[in-house]
Amino acid sequence: MIESVPLNQVLIVTTLMFFIGVYGFLTRKNLITMLISVELMLNAVNLNFVFFDRYLFPGKLEGHFFSLFIIAIAAAEAAVAIAIFINLYRNIRSINVEDVNEMKN
């Protein structure tokens, strides 16, 4: 089953996923959506780790653990990020990324 899908195809999928995340990060205007896009990128990485473990280094678990840590940290990151979003919203009544440009040049 798994063997029928070669690694490079899997990698293509994860890479696509990663860049979709990038694309989302670059284009979505809502800060929350941008955060979700980052999660997408992180998940692509997670998949990478897991697939590498599974395909190339079946005896090792480093990839799996790494994924777990990433998930945990992503959660922490999201928590802090959303807290800051709320703070921002209190200040400027918007969470549109284009409004976050008080400082420039």
Partner 1 sequence: MGYQYTIWILILPIVAFVINGLGSGKLPGKISGWIATVAIGISAFLSYKTAFQFFGSGSHEKIIAVKTTWLRFNEGLQIDMGILLDPISIMMLVVITTVSLMVFVYSQGYMKGEKGYDRYFAFLSLFSFSMLGLVVATNLFQTYMFWELVGVSSYLLIGFYYDKPAAVAASKKAFIVTRFADLGFLIGILIISFYTGTFDFDILTRPEAMTLPVTATFLGLSTMTWALLLVFMGGAGKSAMFPLHIWLPDAMEGPTPVSALIHAATMVVAGVYLVARLFPTYSVLAPDALEVVAFIGAFTTLFAAVIACTQFDIKRILAFSTMSQIGYMMLALGVSGYGGEEGLGYTASLFHLFTHAFFKALLFLGAGSIIHAVHTNDIREMGGLRKYQPITHILFLIACLAIAGIPPFAGFFSKDEILAAAFATHPIYYIIGTLVAGLTAFYMFRLYFIVFWGKSTSYTHTPHESPVIMTLPMMILGIGSVVAGLIPFGSYISSDGVPLKGHIDWVVATISVVLALVGILIAFKFYKTESAKPEAISKSFGAFYRSALSKFYFDELYIAITKGVIFRFVSKPLAWFDRNVIDAFMNLIAAITNWVSSQIKEFQSGQLQKYAFIFISGVIIILLSFLYANQ
Partner 2 sequence: MSLQELLLMRHEWLLIAAVVALLLLELNFSEAKKTNVIPAAAIIFTIVTLIGFLPSENGRAFGGMFITDPIRTLMKNILNLGVLIVFLQSGSWLRTQNNFNRVTEFYLLIISSVIGVSYMISAGHLLMFYLGLELLTIPIAAAASYEQYKSKSAEAGIKLILSSAFSSAILLFGISMLYGTTGTLYFSDIKLAGELLTVLSFVFLFSGLAFKISIVPFHLWTADVYEGSPTSITSYLSVVSKGAAIFVLLIFFASVFGPLQEVWQQVVYGTAIFTMTIGNLFAIRQQNLKRFLAFSSIAQAGFILLGMVGGTPLGMATVIYFILIYVFSNLAAFGVVVAVEQVSGKINITDYNGLYNTNPRLSLTMMLALFSLAGIPPLAGFFGKFFLFTAAAESGFYTLLFIAVLNAVISLYYYLLVVKAMFINKSDAPIGYFQSDYSSRIAMSACVLGILTTGFYSPIFEFIKKLCLESF
Contact residues toward partner 2 (CB under 8 A) are 11, 18, 21-22, 25, 31, 34-35, 38, 41-42, 44-45, 48-49, 52, 56-57, 60, 62-63, 65-66, 69-70, 73, 76-77, 80-81, 83-85, 87-88, 90-92, 100-105
Within positions 3 to 62, which residues make up the interface with partner 1, using CB under 8 A?
22, 25-27, 34
60 backbone dihedrals φ, ψ, rounded to 5°: -100, 160
**Residue 98 interacts with which of partner 1, partner 2, none, CB < 5 to 8 Å by class:** partner 1
What is the C-alpha separation between 99 and 19, in angstroms, rounded? Answer: 25
**The residue count for the chain:** 105
CB within 8 A of 9, min separation 6: which ones? Answer: none
**Residue 24 interacts with which of partner 2, partner 1, none, CB < 5 to 8 Å by class:** none
Under 8 Å between Cβ of 52 and 63: yes
